Amino acid sequence: MSQETNMHQIQIYDTTLRDGTQSEGFTLSANDKIRVAQKLDSFGVSFIEGGWPGSNPKDVEFFERARDLEWKHSLIAAFGATCRVKGGPADDANIKALLDSHTPVCTIFGKTWRLHVTDVLLTTLEDNLRIIEQSVAYLKANGKRVIYDAEHFFDGYKADSSYALETLQAAIRGGAEMIVLCDTNGGTLPWDVERIIRDVRRAAPTPLGIHAHNDGESAVVNSLTAVREGAIQVQGTINGVGERCGNVNLISVIANLELKMGYKCLPEGKLAHLYDLSHIVSEVANLTPDEHMPFVGKSAFAHKGGVHVAAMRRNASSYQHVDPTRIGNKMRVVVSDLSGRGNMLSKAEEHGVEVEGEEVVSVLNEVKELEARGFSFEAAEASVAIMLKRQEYGYKPPFELIDFFVNVEHRDKRGIFAEAMVKVRVQGEVLHTAAEGNGPVNALDLALRKALVGYYPQIEKFILSDYKVRILDSDRGTEATTRVLIDTRNSTSRWSTVGAGTNIIEASWRALADSMEYGLMIAH
């Protein structure tokens, strides 16, 4: 394939299943690898590197299962090294394992840097050239498409440019269809990538790829620079997982190439699944997604400052570098003590609440006052929605608190015992109920539900799914202010509410009552 052919089509080579699993805390079972590979195939990447066959049982199982599956968009690649110095590829166990993987593509790496040749391989420069050429040629002769990864290329080039280029020529003579320049230590800067790739293209007119690590926080810009200089393949991982500081984040590479640089990486319509792919990979690896990640984090298009939101309401491009819907994300407005009137209007519109003018300003002032007292509404939008709803003309709360009482005792032969009583007004009727629980908040929750369920049977489907407590000023000991965040869900929605104060029961009641009221609001 000529490098001048189809200049605007960039091959995405995913190595999440191999290089990505070298990241601390990122592990995938064989089942996980199959799941991720199928998602990548559906997404439309060009190559999926499944692992290093023979290195561990999980990779062996992956390749055995992968050969029986249908891959619609992607080619599966097996990864390995050049053959051992003492011998040739025909009797090398690593090369045999690559052939036994039965993948259409084999990717092998070889040494570029003199330091690695002499101090790691413990061989001569000439012998290193031999094993590169012979390994590529042997795989090629056995019907494999061969991609050659020039390990430590940029460091090797800086140390001895002539020898580094000789290693590439050896791979080309062997029949490699793609030469991938690796910034294995991740420390090369963009201007060096630019200069060196220009030199390489003059000396070796063969299709080039880039494999960047992120140790200098330059992996994305290095990869984009390489593409500008003629590279037609980018190797990396989803979410940038990988050894040490990680590989280049393909999420950011793909978004920048397609949205900003005029290149195509994926089949038509697949870019809109970028957000989902990022979160699915985190979910399969049992990791919490980084919601501040560019493009696909929930905070990537979240607007908190009042000035920003006011501008966004006039023109959505004023504080966003791309349209988030093109990558499957969405714009969010966050409410806090930094908010302005626009934040509140946006939240009211989002939740279908009809308020304006004085009502909005009233809620804004209340938010600012409450945040000064320890509340935080960024992660508790349901509390904001209810505050706005209470300002809506004609709105009547589904219940009103009259009293509550909570008692915690230790009783002989029974141990700790919690009981709560609530007195609430519902549709003009005063209800007085009590309940026992495994703690004071649980008892309060059960007592409130008992009072309301006869009027609002949908409450039975409200599940308190998380209860978080944060001490805000721990230096005050037991007099400290406590913030309570409650997550609630039903069969279709999930919402969060907040309470705060020096009394944890009162803070919990506020969050609990807001949660019930919001759930009833959206149930209608």
Rg value, the chain, Cα: 30
What's the CA gap between 111 and 123, in Å, rounded? Answer: 11
CATH assignment of the domain containing 58: 3.20.20.70
List pLDDT tens digits, range 468-503: 998 887 777 777 888 999 999 998 999 999 999 888
On whether residue 4 sits in a domain, the answer given is no
Of 368, 389, 410, which one is at a domain's C-terminal end?
389
pLDDT at site 358: 79
On whether residue 200 sits in a domain, the answer given is no
107: CB partners within 8 A, 6+ apart: 49, 77, 78, 79, 80, 146, 147, 148, 149, 180
383 within 8 A of 514, measured Cβ to Cβ:
yes
Q: What is the DSSP letter of 331?
A: -
pLDDT at site 5: 38
CATH assignment of the domain containing 431: 3.30.160.270
Amino acid identity of residue 375, one-letter, is: F
* Mean pLDDT for the stretch of residues 334-347: 72
Residues 383 and 427 placed together within one structural domain of the fold? no
β-partners of residue 108 are: 80, 148
pLDDT at site 379: 78
Residues 346 and 461 placed together within one structural domain of the fold? no
On whether residue 238 sits in a domain, the answer given is yes
Sheet holding 429-437, edge to edge: 400-411, 415-426, 429-437
On whether residue 111 sits in a domain, the answer given is yes
Residues 94 and 127 placed together within one structural domain of the fold? yes
DSSP H or E segment with residue 245:
none
220 within 8 A of 249, measured Cβ to Cβ:
yes
Phi-psi map region of 302: left, alpha, beta (phi>0 left; psi -120 to 50 alpha): beta
Q: How many domains does one find in the chain?
A: 3
Residues 418 and 505 placed together within one structural domain of the fold? yes
pLDDT at site 31: 95
Residues 69 and 93 placed together within one structural domain of the fold? yes
Residues 86 and 113 placed together within one structural domain of the fold? yes
Residues 308 and 272 placed together within one structural domain of the fold? no
Domain hosting 320: range is: 302-389
List pLDDT tens digits, range 184-211: 999 999 999 999 999 999 998 899 999 9
Three-state DSSP class for residue 197: helix
On whether residue 187 sits in a domain, the answer given is no
On whether residue 181 sits in a domain, the answer given is no
Percentage of residues of the chain with pLDDT beyond 70: 97
Residues 414 and 486 placed together within one structural domain of the fold? yes
On whether residue 152 sits in a domain, the answer given is no
On whether residue 208 sits in a domain, the answer given is no
The per-residue DSSP string of 441-497 comes to HHHHHHHHHHHHTTT-GGGGG-EEEEEEEEES-GGGGGG--EEEEEEEE-SS-EEEE
Residues 406 and 519 placed together within one structural domain of the fold? yes
Whole-prediction pTM value? Answer: 0.80
Residues 312 and 374 placed together within one structural domain of the fold? yes
Residues 142 and 241 placed together within one structural domain of the fold? yes
Residues 140 and 35 placed together within one structural domain of the fold? yes
pLDDT at site 312: 66
Q: pLDDT category, 1, cuts 50, 70, 90?
A: very low
